[in-house]
Structure 1
């Protein structure tokens, strides 16, 4: 065996156990938790707090509070409040189970994905909110959806005019947020 090959084997045999050990020490299980059924404050239709901790559904954007649409009864209604009411109703009825996937910001927000049980089906909470037309696919600053499947669900809800999509004057939150970001940038 050549000296270089022997050296490579020696380095690999000592480095691989160290790498494996480092991975098991740094990789931890993602926390899974039941959505609290009491003591919850719904901040928006995608964000809530409980026990001093803020949580947000990953990839979901609710309507923004203080933006308005005209409902089917021809009443001008706060779009953000409609999103909050729908999320609260789903949580009450379907009792989601969530998985934390990331922590960001200060104070920290825990981004989560949640599953709900409707009948015999287990469904993604974000997909339910979006397909029913009470939430939207979150986008980045360029307007690209952060979760492709949510963009597909949003497109279907829009075509079917479900939920908030039935309003001709729906204030789409991603458009509002992108415009606000463009206005905040120095020109």
Structure 2
């Protein structure tokens, strides 16, 4: 599995519970056309990373089996959907919280389409990703949702088997991250949590 992707997911979980600081009201801004998409819930612009608050994308390096029996990277599927929705919806975002140590800004993004079936409505980008089944509701280290409305959207998508939920072996990123958080750390140089040397 992609270590960087798991590391980013593990870092984000505690941040949502403790390190994140609330931001004063900010002005709205678009996702830049030249943004570099990192995951299915984040992008970078300059020296800053922007991450959708309360959203957890599938982790890169984890896979699911598609309808043709082929293994596909789950993180790449989440990323492709984020790029497509940003391109099509052109949402405006605002800062919800920030982790200065990691130079990460957590954002909510909304779109207000003026044509098509969604004309006149407001679409939350996080809800769109989760309700289409291409992202998940992020969880705190205690297993509770970071943003409860996103958890409801996930339950509906899961029951409806839309997006990634259509595949029986879709890897739940929250389960992977929470399991990694709960595993004891190995003692330095031993590869084991009890400090004893590993035997060949």
> What is the TM-score with the length of structure 1 in the denominator?
0.81
**2:180, 2:100 → 1: CA distance?**
20
CA 1:103 to 1:70, structure 2 compared with 1: closer, same or farther past 3 Å?
A: same
State how far apart, in whole Å, the 1-side matches of 2:35 and 2:182 are.
34
Which runs of at least 4 in structure 1 moved beyond 2 Å after TM superposition? 184-187
Pick the structure with more helix per residue: 1
> CA RMSD of the aligned region, Å?
1.6
- Is residue 99 of structure 1 aligned with residue 94 of structure 2? yes
1:109 aligned onto 2:113: no
Q: Tell me the TM-score normalised to structure 2 length.
A: 0.76
Measure the CA separation in 1 of the matches of 2:104 and 2:87: 22
CA displacement, residues 115-162 of structure 1 (integer Å, 9 cap, x when unaligned):
023432111100000000000000011211111111100000000000
| Distance in 1 between residues matched to 2:53 and 2:107, nearest whole Å | 5
Quote the offset at 1:105 in angstroms.
4.3
- For 1:123 and 1:54, the matched residues in 2 are separated by 22
Distance apart, 1:106 and its partner CA: 2.1
Residue-by-residue CA offset, 1:28-87 (whole Å, 9 max, x unaligned): 4323211112x1111100010012211000000000000000111211000000000000
Gaps of 5+ in 2: 1-22, 186-192, 195-200
Name 2:75's counterpart in structure 1.
80
Could you tell which deviates more after superposition, 100-109 or 158-167? 100-109
Larger Rg: 1
Distance 1:174 1:67 in 2: 12
Contact 2:47 2:103 in 1 (8 A): no
Picking from 54, 58, 61, the partner of 1:66 is 61
- Structure 1's unaligned 5+ residue stretches are 1-26
Alignment-derived partner of residue 170 in structure 1: 170
